[in-house]
């Protein structure tokens, strides 16, 4: 893979510092006004509440005391405060006041009648200003709440733009030279990089393509398992490109509020069109591009409206507009079919787990700048990491460096890489776990059973290490080392692998005459593989060439699964899986019986050393002969 330099010429991205400064100033002014208004509103609300409470001087009298004083002629005058629901005045001891219920007309009529009968002069005061207290006490809390929300949005809203931020897409714009990752930092994805190099070259020099009458694809969809480098490729394109690059996650378009998702889609593509030619990258496209259903309620309607707006925007690009949409997802099967048609995503690039050469290149990239020992064999490490993704390999290198630092080593040695692989596959060692003699004996024969059956059957991988030191949740550990990458596997190879999985369980039964729960993980893996052979690979002798994978509801693509087969077929599947497991266990027992001496030797050596690998393990397994054809098949 040729390395490409990170220095490029070309025009700079357009900048508008005046508009940005004006926006910041407006935001600051709005924030200052909101901060000043908040204590004023709170203080005014407190003053209103204090003023609205009655403040009548004098002694408080009960209603019965007041009527009794009226009969005795000791009340001199009275003033009825209508809003305060009080009667105030003077009597022989000074000032007084009486509280009554303003909504009770009977009490009010009774008191006024008592005042008339006693001949006491009285007046009624309307208090019109206090009649405004009730609406004011409703408006002021609302204003305080709104002011507080404005402050929060101005402080923490997207871009600090408050309510208008809801409709902003929040896409990040990468300036030329901002991204430090280039295609030189990507390995194992040569074919995918060719597709993106073509896009980069078209945007930087379109004349060469236009002379041939060719136009750049409107959309490129990157698909593949998690951790295989889809987002890394996009970041590499951002580092290589000399045009504006906008990145956003599909979940950023999803919002609980109605209409926000489509508004963000419109804003996102509006900004992209204004900056054309440019590249936009949507990560985790399935968050917004999931297939539409025929029955949508609530949030489903909003998600579909967001998807519809995305379809409209992508279909609205004119040929030669200079806007290229790059998207990534690890679930292309649930994407809406309208999103995948040519004209929206013209090209789909499948990214799979790297092969041995790709893994070697990835390991070398991640090992840059790390002090490696001369004995480190990156090629050997790559061969031992079959099935690892790019993210897994990065974790291997980082874990090896951590182990070297933890062990006080000045360089990263080969053993650190091997231990890092083991930690990622089976978990860290648990040497503090003390095994009883019975458990130690049973686990040793269990792991030895795996090794013998794997060695005797040709369809299995080579055993590279045995250990009875607990790792993760497992009591022991058997490490199979694949000879190389395989594009496909045969039925006989899969049957041999199932027998090897059940070899530990068969060894326990053969030696101790009893079974334990320690084989649960092996049994789960064996059942899963046997069921896939029947339902996915068409390797059933009963059902023949018949794939019985569950059907995805094509109308909704919401993950609603239907069996796709009858109860009779389901019964046949269960019977076939049971037959495969029974035959695999019989083959494993036959191998162990034939090689009982070797089984005892490996188990006792494992109990003594706790870990067997390399030449020691190969020497112990050397007497094991290939199983006869009747046992293997």
Catalytically active residues are: 447
Q: What is the DSSP letter of 412?
A: B
Q: With beta carbons less than 8 A apart as the criterion, state whether 481 and 384 touch.
A: yes
> For the chain, what is the largest distance between any 2 Cα atoms, rounded to a whole number of angstroms?
128
**87 close to 59: Cβ distance less than 8 angstroms:** no
- Cβ-in-10-Å burial (0-12, 13-18, 19+) of 212 comes to exposed
- Distances from the Cα of 494 to the Cα of 348, 454, 530, 581, angstroms: 32, 12, 8, 12
577 Cβ contact partners less than 8 Å away, ≥ 6 residues apart: 527, 530, 531, 534
Q: Are 467 and 610 in contact (CB under 8 A)?
A: yes
The H-or-E segment that residue 88 falls in is strand 86-91
Q: How far apart are CA 216 and CA 108, in angstroms?
A: 87
Please name which of 359, 361, 339 lies closest in space to residue 348, comparing C-alpha atoms. Answer: 339
- How many CB atoms are located within 10 Å of the residue 186 CB? 25
Residue 75 β-bridge partners? 91
Over the range 103-117, which residues count as b (16 or more CB within 10 Å of their CB) and which as e? eeeeebeebeebbee
Residues with Cβ within 8 Å of residue 1, at least 6 apart in sequence? 183, 184, 187, 190, 193, 361
């Amino acid at each position: 893979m040729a390395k490409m330099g990170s220095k490029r010429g070309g025009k700079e991205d357009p900048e508008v510092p005046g508009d940005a400064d004006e926006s910041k100033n407006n935001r600051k002014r709005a924030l200052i006004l909101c901060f000043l208004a908040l204590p004023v509103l709170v203080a005014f609300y407190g003053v209103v509440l204090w003023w609205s409470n009655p403040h009548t001087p004098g002694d408080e009298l009960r209603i019965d005391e007041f009527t009794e004083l009226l009969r005795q002629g000791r009340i001199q005058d009275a003033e009825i405060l209508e809003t305060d629901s009080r009667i105030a005045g003077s009597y022989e001891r000074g000032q007084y006041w009486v509280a009554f219920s303003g909504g009770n007309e009977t009490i009010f009529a009774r008191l006024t009648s008592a005042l008339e009968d006693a001949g006491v002069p009285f007046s009624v005061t309307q208090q019109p200003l206090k009649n405004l207290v009730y609406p004011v006490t409703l408006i002021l809390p609302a204003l305080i709440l709104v002011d507080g929300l404005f402050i929060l949005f101005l402080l923490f809203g997207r871009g600090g733009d408050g309510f208008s931020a809801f409709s902003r897409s929040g896409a990040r714009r990468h300036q030329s030279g901002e991204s430090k990752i280039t295609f030189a930092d990507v390995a194992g994805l040569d074919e995918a990089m060719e597709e993106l190099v073509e896009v980069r070259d078209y945007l930087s020099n379109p004349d060469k393509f236009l002379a041939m009458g060719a136009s750049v694809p409107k959309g490129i969809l990157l698909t593949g398992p998690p951790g295989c480098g889809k987002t890394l490729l996009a970041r590499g394109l951002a580092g290589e490109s000399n045009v504006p690059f906008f990145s956003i996650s599909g979940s950023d378009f999803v919002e609980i509020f109605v209409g926000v998702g489509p508004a963000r889609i419109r804003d996102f593509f509006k900004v992209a069109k204004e900056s054309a030619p440019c590249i936009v990258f949507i990560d985790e496209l399935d968050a917004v591009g999931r297939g539409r259903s025929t029955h949508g309620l609530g949030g489903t309607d909003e998600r579909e409206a967001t998807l519809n707006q995305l379809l409209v925007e992508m279909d609205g690009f004119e040929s030669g507009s200079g806007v290229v949409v790059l998207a990534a997802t690890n679930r292309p099967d649930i994407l809406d079919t309208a999103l995948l048609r040519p004209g929206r995503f013209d090209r789909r690039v499948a990214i799979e787990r790297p092969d041995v050469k790709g893994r070697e290149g990835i390991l070398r990239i991640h090992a840059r700048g790390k002090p490696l020992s001369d004995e480190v064999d990156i090629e050997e490490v790559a061969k031992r990491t079959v099935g690892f993704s790019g993210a897994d390999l990065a974790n291997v290198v980082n874990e090896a460096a951590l182990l070297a630092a933890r062990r006080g080593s000045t360089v990263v040695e080969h053993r650190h890489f091997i231990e890092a692989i083991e930690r990622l596959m089976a978990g860290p060692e648990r040497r503090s776990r003390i095994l009883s003699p019975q458990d130690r004996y049973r686990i040793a024969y269990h792991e030895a059973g795996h090794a013998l059956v794997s060695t005797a059957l040709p369809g299995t991988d080579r055993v590279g290490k045995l250990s009875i030191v607990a790792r993760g949740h497992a009591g022991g550990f058997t490490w199979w080392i694949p000879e190389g990458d395989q594009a496909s596997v045969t039925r006989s190879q899969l049957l041999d692998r199932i027998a090897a999985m059940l070899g530990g369980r068969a060894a326990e039964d053969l030696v101790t005459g009893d079974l334990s729960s320690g084989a649960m993980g092996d049994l789960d893996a064996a059942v899963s593989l046997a069921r896939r052979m029947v339902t996915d690979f068409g390797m059933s002798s009963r059902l023949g060439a018949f794939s019985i994978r569950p059907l995805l509801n094509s109308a909704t693509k919401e993950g609603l699964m239907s069996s796709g087969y009858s109860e009779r077929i389901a019964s046949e599947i269960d019977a076939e899986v049971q037959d495969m497991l029974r035959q695999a266990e019989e083959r494993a027992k036959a191998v162990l019986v034939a090689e009982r001496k070797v089984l005892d030797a490996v188990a006792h050596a494992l109990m003594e050393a706790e870990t067997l690998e390399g030449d020691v393990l190969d020497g112990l397994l050397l007497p094991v002969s290939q199983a006869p054809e009747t046992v293997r098949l």
